[in-house]
Amino acid sequence: MGHIRFDHRAVVAAAKAERGTWVLAGVYPTSMSGKAAVLRIALARRMPSYEPAGTFEAYHAPHEDGGTAVWTRYVAGLPAVEPRPSSKTYRVCDRGTGRGYEGVRIVTVTVAPECPRCGGPRGEARPHRFSEDGAWYIVDKWSNGCGHTDSYDAVLAEYRKLVAQLEEAEQRDAARAVKAGPAQAGEYTAAVLLLNTAAAETRGLLARHGAQYLDMRGETEAARRIQEELKRRSGAMSARQAATFLVELAAARQACDRCENGRVNYQAEDGEFVSLRCPTCRRDVVPNA
Ligand SMILES: [Zn+2]
Ligand SMILES: [Zn+2]
């Protein structure tokens, strides 16, 4: 494909008319040319319409015709515009894949922030309440500025593909860790090896199941720390991530100089002696009698 001329003056005029709103600058034949255009827009290099440098932001995303879409927005002035999200989260209806009626299940999906057809930003979620078979449900509805509609089925498929890719990558990661030999994880060394071995065997193994497994194998303290961390992350953690978490916790413990054996002891203003569990070490500590 030869050189493509885009009407950047018109793009800039449209973007300036609606500061903060993304405008399609062009669809480039390759991802390399798209990426180069993103850089040139931000720096206003060989693109005089976008001067002065720094007044426009740009990003690139796949376009359904196989090219790379470049979107830009005018950001000069105040107040600062919202940063572009790295993903979008929506609650959608899952009606199963069978032919018959299977009822409805609400699934929270995290997907790309762009429309898969044109690369334009996906819309903001608006809660929508509905009833079915005598039960009430809340899902999200959104409309994309580009005018393309995301169906719940398409978004679910996109999400499941992302999850499968992530699970595959984590499985490979865990296998690599097992091959590399036991990690330096202090008292968790055995637990980390168990977790990595299990995560390498079972694709998509969750931290919750990893913790149960550790508990059964006598690694009860490690299992409790994972359960604690799971609560903190509101349940979203894989067994592979749990193994990484234990390695980090062991390192933090080793470096901790704030406590004595997992306890922070001090005298409060009223003269009372207080002994708290160290938030860095997170050891189980027996309360003082
Ligand atoms: Zn679109
Ligand atoms: Zn400590």
Spans of all domains in the chain = 8-74, 88-150, 165-255, 260-289
Among the bound ligands, the one closest to the CA of 249: 2
Residue owning tokens 């050189």: 3
**Can you state the angle between helices 189-201 and 239-255, rounded to 10 degrees?**
160
In this predicted structure, what is the pLDDT of residue 3?
A: 55
Write out the E strands in the chain. Answer: 23-28, 56-62, 68-74, 88-94, 105-111, 126-132, 135-141, 263-267, 273-277
In this predicted structure, what is the pLDDT of residue 80?
A: 92
Q: Do 89 and 96 contact (CB within 8 A), yes or no?
A: no
In this predicted structure, what is the pLDDT of residue 4?
A: 65
- DSSP string for residues in 152-202: HHHHHHHHHHHHHHHHHHHHHHHHHHHHH-----GGGHHHHHHHHHHHHHS
Q: What whole-number distance in Å separates Cα of residue 191 and Cα of residue 215?
A: 10
Distance 252 CA to ligand 2 centre (A): 8
Long-range contacts of 8-14 (CB under 8 A, 24+ apart): 8/47, 8/49, 8/50, 9/49, 11/49, 11/72, 12/49, 12/50, 12/56, 12/74
Distance 248 CA to ligand 2 centre (A): 13
In this predicted structure, what is the pLDDT of residue 100?
A: 82
Q: Do 72 and 61 contact (CB within 8 A), yes or no?
A: no
In this predicted structure, what is the pLDDT of residue 102?
A: 79
Distances (CA, A) of 40 to 35, 59, 64, 167, 218: 9, 11, 23, 36, 58
Distance 277 CA to ligand 2 centre (A): 8
In this predicted structure, what is the pLDDT of residue 5?
A: 72
- pTM recorded for the entire structure: 0.77
Among the bound ligands, the one closest to the CA of 64: 1
In this predicted structure, what is the pLDDT of residue 161?
A: 96
Q: Do 47 and 41 contact (CB within 8 A), yes or no?
A: yes
Distance 259 CA to ligand 2 centre (A): 4
Distance 174 CA to ligand 2 centre (A): 28
Among the bound ligands, the one closest to the CA of 257: 2
Among the bound ligands, the one closest to the CA of 148: 1
Distance 130 CA to ligand 1 centre (A): 27
Among the bound ligands, the one closest to the CA of 119: 1
Among the bound ligands, the one closest to the CA of 280: 2
CB atoms within 10 A of CB 229: 18
Residue owning tokens 């493509």: 4
Question: Per residue of the chain (289 residues), what is the pLDDT tens digit?
Answer: 445 678 999 999 999 999 999 999 999 999 999 999 999 999 999 999 999 999 999 999 999 999 999 999 999 999 999 999 999 999 999 988 788 887 899 999 999 999 999 999 999 999 999 999 899 999 999 999 999 999 999 999 999 999 999 999 999 999 999 999 888 899 999 999 999 999 999 999 999 999 999 999 999 999 999 999 999 998 789 999 999 999 999 999 999 998 988 899 888 888 899 888 999 999 887 665 4
Q: What whole-number distance in Å separates Cα of residue 26 and Cα of residue 30?
A: 12
Among the bound ligands, the one closest to the CA of 62: 1
Distances (CA, A) of 44 to 13, 40, 57, 65: 15, 5, 10, 27
Q: What whole-number distance in Å separates Cα of residue 161 and Cα of residue 224?
A: 32
In this predicted structure, what is the pLDDT of residue 287?
A: 61
